[in-house]
Amino acid sequence: MLACKAGATILWRPMGEFCCLVVHGLDGIRTQAVEALVNTGATYTWVPKTILEGRGYCACLRRKLRLTDGSVVEREGTGALLKADDAVLDAVAILSDRKLELVLGAATLEELCLGLDQVARWLVPIEALLMRPHALGRR
């Protein structure tokens, strides 16, 4: 696992292992560096409810989520300021009831402009796509 410190910047991280994610408090002061499992099979990032509530967040949305067994559950979420590398963004974070469940999901990875190198099993910086109407066959 990686050492995880507040303000740490790690540009390359192993895929399928833990990476450093910093949860910023709503007050801009209370931050917490955590190790999150990189999981591209999860759409959203999961953060324990105790960490989010300790930084001033509360549930403000609900999402239906399909589990690996095919069942669908509904979970509460919030918009939270998250930092990985030098990017800070407001991302959807699902409030996890489990104290140790920290997952960095695919939507957050994409918003952070981080992609997967499937051969080397690393997260790498990527460029986001911008599609123009003429690229879609319209003028």
pTM, 2 dp: 0.78
10-residue mean pLDDT profile of the chain (139 residues): values are 42 58 87 87 93 94 93 95 83 88 90 81 82 63
Residue 84 lies in a domain: yes
Q: Which residues constitute the domain of residue 83?
A: 13-136
CA distance 77 to 63: 7
Question: What integer pLDDT is reported at residue 43 of this predicted model?
Answer: 94
Residue 59 lies in a domain: yes
Question: What integer pLDDT is reported at residue 56 of this predicted model?
Answer: 95
Q: What is the largest CA-CA distance in the chain?
A: 52
Structure tokens belonging to residue 117: 């190198």
Name the domain count of the chain: 1
Residue 7 lies in a domain: no
Q: Residue 57 maps to which CATH number?
A: 2.40.70.10
Residue 37 lies in a domain: yes
Label residue 97 left, alpha or beta by phi (over 0 means left) and psi (-120 to 50 means alpha). Answer: alpha
Residue partners of 35: CB distance under 8 A and separation at least 6: 1, 2, 4, 18, 19, 20, 21, 102
